[in-house]
Structure 1
Amino acid sequence: MPHVRQSTGWIAPLRKANMGVLLALLVISVFGVPSFTEPGRLVGRILQDLFLSLILITGVVSAKERPRAFVLIALVALAAITLRLAGWVVPAHLTLAIRDATTLVAVALITVVIGLNVFGSGKVTFDRIDGAIALYILLGVLWAQAYQILSSVIPNAFYSASLHTNSLDRSIWIYFSFVTLTTAGYGDILPIAPEARSLTNLEALIGQLYPAIVLARLVSLHLAGGDSGASNS
């Protein structure tokens, strides 16, 4: 069926470029922006919202080959971006809860789609390696969003002197999430509530298992020229 091949022939190049762009945006957002901006500053908030919006848009593009998921993810991502923009013109308390919840759902859906793209059947290529690294970083972003929501729902869920004035700053939770994901555990932010401890334990477990098993297997399959799943018929 030539028309089917023509309609799907652009998917592979798009996914390859998209994974690289997504990875670059995640690296800049997670490791770059917090390094050059101070918590609570206007510039930092602008850059955080900008890069998070770009990440959501890029994640939506990743779902392009899955029509049903694409519509859902696009709608949720659009709602999350719209609510973030609204936060600049309306009082924060009016949109904060639904904004953070919508962002959490959008990131979670994108994480699932990236996982399906990375670990689906087919030959393991460099774009899948990029996707696997992006997926690992996305897990940290996902948990950071969950921590931020939990801290607003349960004010004493975490303890840290810096949280008294910066609990709404996303970079604080990005930092704590990746400290937990990598099990560095500096101890400057402590989970106190049982819900917070459960979240941190789960993230630390995933942080240990993911690079040790999944990412290592993808790299080995790529070097061996193998598949990440059943071969296509």
Structure 2
Amino acid sequence: MNTAAWSRIARRHPSAFLLAVQLLSLMVYPLFDGLPGGRLVFGAFGATALVLAVWVVNRSPAVNWVAWSLAIPALLCAVSAAVFRNQALLVTASLLEALLYFYAAGALILYMMNDNRVTADELFAAGATFTLLAWGFAYLFVVCQVWYPGSFSGAVEPERARTWLELLFLSFTNLAAVGLGDVLPLRSEARVLVMLEQFAGVGYVAVVVSRLIGLTILRQGRDS
């Protein structure tokens, strides 16, 4: 495909690009996990996701400058934390990224709820919103683990701090309510975050996803 074709797809389906980057980072991360430059590679995917998160906010009724005011310092802190391995910068970056991902998720929900017509981009937005929520809570888990040591335990080396991928795995399984996982919240602060994510996951499926499915079925009934 030429550049013009990719540009048209990007304008019509920005949510698809955000979803693709999020899922691609999941597949790439195990290849670099444990390597010296692994954090920088994953940080590059994170930076791309931050920019795309702002991009999809621009397509929604949300205010764009709020997203940029979160994305720019989050990006700077994330890069600095990866380069200098600074714990304080890591916490700051995680907080800002969590806020940005939640804001972008809210913006996409407004975008999907704004009318009664379901487009292809809105279906991609449904998937992207799920990943944004999962990433946002995973970053909150990172902050919780730093502020309250011993917040999480696991089946493997239960006394050590959980890795980023373990916390992201916990976030995905918790948000999807699949009941899987070898990472457990132990402290009350961690358990409150987990319960909030469970509530968000159930609410998202009950309100947003079910609405998109219902509107799609109604449209197919009219067209038939």
Please classify the TM superposition score into its range, dividing by the shorter chain length.
0.7 to 0.9
Provide the residue aligned with 2:17 in structure 1: 21
TM-score (structure 2 length as normaliser): 0.82
Which residue does the alignment assign to 2:153?
159
Give the number of equivalent residue pairs: 212
- When the two chains are superposed, the root-mean-square deviation of aligned CA atoms in Å is 2.6
Change (3 A) 1:93 1:197: closer
Deviation at 1:225, TM superposition (A): 2.5
Deviations 1:9-54 (A, max 9, x none): xxx976632111011112222x31344343x433432232111111
8 Å CA contact 2:61–2:107 kept in 1: the answer is no
CA distance in 2, matches of 1:163, 1:42: 24
Determine the C-alpha separation between the residues in 1 that align with 2:173 and 2:74: 26
Which residue identity does 2:191 align to in structure 1?
A: R
Equivalent residue for 2:112, pick from 114, 118, 124? 118
Corresponding letter in the other structure for 2:38: G
Shift of 1:89: 3.6
Secondary structure in 2 matching 1:25: helix
Q: Give structure 1 stretches of 5+ with no counterpart.
A: 1-11, 227-233
Given the alignment, which residue of 183, 190, 194 partners 1:189? 183
Aligned match of 1:224 = 218
AA partner of residue 64 (structure 1): N
Deviation at 1:136, TM superposition (A): 1.3
In structure 2, the residue corresponding to 1:87 is in which secondary structure? helix
Aligned partner letter, 2:122: R
Instruction: State the identity as a percent.
Output: 23
TM-score scaled by structure 1? 0.79
3-state SS, counterpart of residue 190 of structure 1: strand
Higher relative contact order (CA 8 A, sep 6+): 1
SS at structure 2 position matched to 1:156: coil
**Corresponding residue number in structure 1 for 2:141:** 147
Check 1:26–1:88 CA distance in 2 against 1; reply closer, same or farther (3 A cut): closer
* Conservation of the 8 A alpha-carbon contact between 1:144 and 1:177: yes
Q: Which runs of 5+ in 2 are unaligned?
A: 1-7
- Residue 32 of structure 1 corresponds to which residue in structure 2? 27
